[in-house]
Amino acid sequence: MTIDLLSQSQATGGRRLTLRTICLHALMILLSFVAVFPIYWMIVSSLKAENDIFSTTLWPAYPSLENYAYVFAKMPILRIIANTTIVSVTTAALQVLTGLLAAYALVRWRMRLAGFVNGLIALSWLVPFQVTMIPNYVFASRLGLLDSLGGLIIPNAVAAFAVLLLYHSMRSFPTEVLEAGRMDGAGHWRILWEIVAPNMRAPIASLAILAFISAWNEYFWPLLLSRKIENSVVQIGLQMFMTQEGNLWGPLMAAATLASLPILLIYLVLQRQVIESFMKSGIR
């Protein structure tokens, strides 16, 4: 068996193919199947008729788009997907912006209470959302932000996780480069945007992706603020097909498939950048 493995290793261009490597690849294939199969099942279920929705066949005998037609007839799916995209993109951009400004101030500015402020930010990250939910709701209500996209964006414009992630990445930035910029007459603003930010593309990209996905999957805060479906986001729209009388699984799977398309499209377009950014952030 060892001889066979060595011969296979030579055939694969010098790579050493061991039993451990084979087992690891088999495990990765199994885990990939476990991760992908629910998505496949969601798409297949969206193509099934109502009387065929609980069948265990891997592909419907008569696939149809009736569930998609029902979704478009019952709810403004394109509008709420557009709302979700606006909220997610804006929230991610604001978290990156505020995180960069806060992290740069904590790293570069000499302040007596810098450690205390950093500790408070870390502690605020540990506070559950349910604790701040009611004060945020009262604040948004007094500002007239109920049932609006601004109410969904503004309370999430600053995130402790964003500040901490960029703070620790910025601490390892070479101080010699920053001092060279200071000697050339550059101010803090110019140093941040022309020296620091371009060289922190990996953690910034990782943070932007995580913030976008987190905002896209947000449920409780939009549920609390939304009054009309046309001003809501996709997570609230999916709830329309879940009633006390029973769930409409076909339309629900069709709406979930449509809601997944933007994120899937973004990943396919930015696949290489997404993988590289997470790898570089992990190494750092």
Render each residue's pLDDT in the chain as its tens digit; 284 residues: 444 444 454 444 455 678 888 899 999 999 999 999 999 999 999 998 888 888 888 888 888 899 999 999 988 988 999 999 999 999 999 999 999 999 998 888 877 777 788 888 888 888 888 888 888 899 888 988 888 899 999 988 999 999 988 988 888 888 888 888 888 888 888 888 888 888 888 888 888 888 998 898 888 889 888 888 888 888 888 888 887 777 888 899 999 999 888 888 877 777 776 676 666 655 45
The candidate with the shortest Cα–Cα distance to 251, out of 262, 240, 235, 261, is 240
Strands (E), the chain: 242-243, 246-247
What one-letter code names the amino acid at 262? P
Which tokens hold the place of 68? Answer: 């998609």
Q: Which of 114, 92, 98 is nearest to 210 (CA)?
A: 92
Long-range contacts of 9-18 (CB under 8 A, 24+ apart): none
DSSP class per residue in 8-27 = HHHHTTS----HHHHHHHHH
Q: What is the spatial distance between Cα 83 and Cα 90, in angstroms, rounded to a whole number? A: 11
H or E stretch at 196 = none
- Whole-Å CA distances, 43 to 36, 50, 53, 70: 11, 14, 12, 15
pTM to 2 decimal places? 0.80
DSSP-derived letter for residue 128 is -
The label of the residue with tokens 């991760």 reads 35
CB 48 within 8 A of CB 250: yes
